[in-house]
Amino acid sequence: MKGAVAKMRERGHIKRSPRVDTRIETFVTDSDGNRISVVVIDLSRDGCRLETPAMLRIGEKVQIEVPKHGTFAAQIRWALGNEAGAVFLEPVFVD
């Protein structure tokens, strides 16, 4: 491709939607139907970061309740200590 410049991703850099810091106390329902208390500590249209005393399993599909906005299907992508990251199965648009 003459004249085209390929833009490569930096090692360790993951392109993602802008995230908004928040502190929403809510619940996640895991694949076994257990309702787990969590705090959403950041949020984007593609996913969120959760703080929870429970261990969430990587790859598990969950339902995340967002007060005044509904319940959203997500998948846990990472878990470390008392935090976990989830990606929404469909983009979420909340005010």
Whole-angstrom Cα distance, residue 93 to residue 79?
24
Q: Is the pLDDT of residue 18 over 70?
A: no
Tell me the pLDDT band of 43, cut-offs 50, 70 and 90. Answer: confident
* R_g over Cα of the chain: 15
- CA-based nearest residue to 65, from 57, 73, 76, 55: 73
Residue with tokens 């993951």: 14
Q: Does domain 20-88 have CATH number 3.30.450.40?
A: no
Instruction: State whether residue 92 is helix, strand or coil.
Output: coil
pLDDT digits (tens, 9 = 90+) for 48-89: 999 999 989 999 999 999 888 789 999 999 999 999 999 999
Tokens of 59: 């790859």
